[in-house]
Amino acid sequence: MNHLEGDFWEHLIEGFLKIPGNTCTVCGHELDNHVDERDGWRCHSIGQDFYQCECYLRKGRHDEGIEGYDLKTRILDNPDLKGFKEKLEKKEA
């Protein structure tokens, strides 16, 4: 059994299902907290250091707009996680 079988997939799926929807893939804050500033979206959440988050998402990187930075979408679109989507669908069925 290689590292991509058995418990590894279960662990990966459990972690994926705990990710809240609408989560920024860069900083982990909600995408709704990113404000449109012409050429990108700046995060207006407070970071763990109690300063404003420094995340800045550039426009034009994804056809979907800011939704292209959604963490769950990026994970499902990752070609290196071949087979993950199918295993997730089986788990959710």
pLDDT, mean of residues 24-47:
96
pLDDT, mean of residues 43-51:
94
What's the DSSP call for residue 14? H
Domain ranges of the chain: 7-92
Can you give the pLDDT at residue 25? 95
Q: Report whether 38 contacts 47 (CB < 8 A).
A: no
Q: Report whether 71 contacts 55 (CB < 8 A).
A: no
Residue of higher predicted confidence among 3 and 68: 68
Can you give the pLDDT at residue 2? 53
Place of tokens 């972690």: 15
pLDDT, mean of residues 32-37:
96
Task: State the greatest distance between any 2 C-alpha atoms of the chain, in Å, as a whole number.
Answer: 50
CA-to-CA distance for 43 and 25, rounded, in angstroms? 12
